[in-house]
Structure 1
Amino acid sequence: MIRIEICANSVRSALIAQEAGAYRIEFCDNLKEGGTTPSFGQIALARQQLNIKLYPIIRPRGGDFLYTDLEFEVMKKDIEQCLALGCDGVVFGVLDANGRVDKPRCEQLIKAAGKMGVTFHRAFDRCSDPFEALEDIIELGFERILTSGLEADVVSGADLIARLVKQAAGRIQIMPGAGVKPENLAHLIEMTKATEYHTTAKGPLESEMAYREVRTGSKAEEFMTEQTDPDTVSALVQIAEKYSL
């Protein structure tokens, strides 16, 4: 089976993705920062209204993946909330100052996750040695790794992704993400042999505000946001289904 995970930036986006056939939601806020942890209210409403798998991202801020003790405590508390709300899993990644997987801290977060599944996110793409990191993440017990192959997008990183899939040998899912589109999904499936793919599938969403006289920012910043595009999700799902036959 080829499965499509949608990175949704709101409850509305998550519901659109579900209706269009997505298999799983990575739930986040602040897409422009690479995704941060959504509010308690958003996670609670998403869990109430979604029937598909829900994996909130556990990331207290944008930037690097080397966290202070206080940030790490926030991450643990957020995971505890996700567990209490009935989420299917959580998404996180922690590195040390040398770009290696911080195994002791990851172990603590996995323990906090309890019965939930765990995905190691694109902190992987900041690792100094991806092949060593892969083995560390497998040893820790993660279900999957989200990666662009250490490049800006999955097309550029496809060669490395294919090598990671081969090294993983079924012990963990390697999930390409960053630039997955209907136009390149078939190529990525054939080249990497991965069976799960991650994308925002987002499109522009214009504000319904009638009054637009602003002096504090540009109109593009004030009156344009992003939301999951149902047609893009549907197109991706159709391609995935074709390759799943």
Structure 2
Amino acid sequence: MTTVEICVSDVPTALVAEAAGADRLELCADLGQGGTTPSLGTVEVALRTLRRVGVRVMVRPRGGDFRVSEVEEQVMLADIEAVRALPNPHGLAVGVVVGAVADGGGLDLPVLRRLVEAAGPLPVTVHKAFDEVDDQIAALEAIIDLGADAVLTSGAAPTALAGAERIATLRRRAGDRLRIIAGGGIRSHNVRQVLAETGAREVHLRAPVQRDGREATDGDEVRRVVTAAHGD
């Protein structure tokens, strides 16, 4: 079955996405900057309040580029340690989302290795920093060697549909060694086409709607995506 991951920015939107049938959530702060680490309180309350969905916690200390300084790495390591220590009363599948690129156009493998090691038993997704890498096939093999669980990608294109051929290539290369999550411009009207053209079994998207002057999650759109992706 296809997994639908919804990116959410707080506990209320997480609850909306869960109620609408999402399989997994990516919990972030500051979506306007592409997502940064949510507060520890947000993660703790989410784990206490949600009942069934998987939760991946973004670990990214700031917006902007994906280069990680020594101090920023220390912050990320501390955040991962804090997430691991949180109570998980409902036994949700919890993981973290990380990424780091080097000046030369590749992944910052030393930083990523330390982040993956710090996560320990928690599964690790490498986020769309992967799409800034010049040689994605080599980067994919390196991520597998590090022990990461998944990669989120649009195939280095503006959208998952535009990058469908690359995503399909990455999926075939990864096989059963690592999960490829397709993301970028996915909505209910095109999710089946994305799945068909990429062969991916997991999709990632936001379902934004403006309510009371701020962005919320559109539960109706989540339901439509889930229905289309699950083939109901």
**Where do 1:1-245 residues align within 5 Å?**
1-51=1-51, 52-85=53-86, 86=88, 88-206=94-212, 224-242=213-231
Equivalents in 2 of 1:30, 1:153: separation in Å? Answer: 21
Equivalents in 2 of 1:148, 1:13: separation in Å? Answer: 24
Cα drift, residue 204 of structure 1:
1.2
Equivalents in 1 of 2:105, 2:34: separation in Å? Answer: 18
Give the residue type in structure 2 aligned to 1:66. Answer: R
Flag the structure with larger Rg.
Answer: 1
Equivalents in 2 of 1:41, 1:28: separation in Å? Answer: 12
Give the residue type in structure 2 aligned to 1:82. Answer: V
Equivalents in 1 of 2:172, 2:116: separation in Å? Answer: 25
Secondary structure of 2:231's counterpart equals helix
Give the residue type in structure 1 aligned to 2:24. Answer: R
Equivalents in 2 of 1:161, 1:106: separation in Å? Answer: 22
Equivalents in 1 of 2:152, 2:36: separation in Å? Answer: 15
Give the residue type in structure 1 aligned to 2:146. Answer: L
Equivalents in 2 of 1:123, 1:84: separation in Å? Answer: 26
Equivalents in 2 of 1:122, 1:81: separation in Å? Answer: 23
Equivalents in 2 of 1:188, 1:127: separation in Å? Answer: 22
Measured against aligned partners, the alpha-carbon deviations of 1:14-48 in whole angstroms (never above 9, x if no partner) come to 11010011111100011111000001111111111
In the alignment, structure 2 segments of 5+ residues that lack a partner are none
Cα root mean square deviation, aligned: 1.2
Equivalents in 1 of 2:207, 2:143: separation in Å? Answer: 27
Say if 1:6 and 1:22, in contact at 8 Å, map to a contact too.
Answer: yes
Cα drift, residue 170 of structure 1:
2.2
Give the residue type in structure 1 aligned to 2:59. Answer: I
Measured against aligned partners, the alpha-carbon deviations of 1:91-125 in whole angstroms (never above 9, x if no partner) come to 00111111212222111111211211100000101
Say if 1:79 and 1:112, in contact at 8 Å, map to a contact too.
Answer: yes
Secondary structure of 1:6's counterpart equals strand
Equivalents in 2 of 1:205, 1:178: separation in Å? Answer: 23
Identity %: 40
Measured against aligned partners, the alpha-carbon deviations of 1:170-199 in whole angstroms (never above 9, x if no partner) come to 211111112110110010111101000000
Give the residue type in structure 2 aligned to 1:54. Answer: V
Say if 1:98 and 1:128, in contact at 8 Å, map to a contact too.
Answer: no
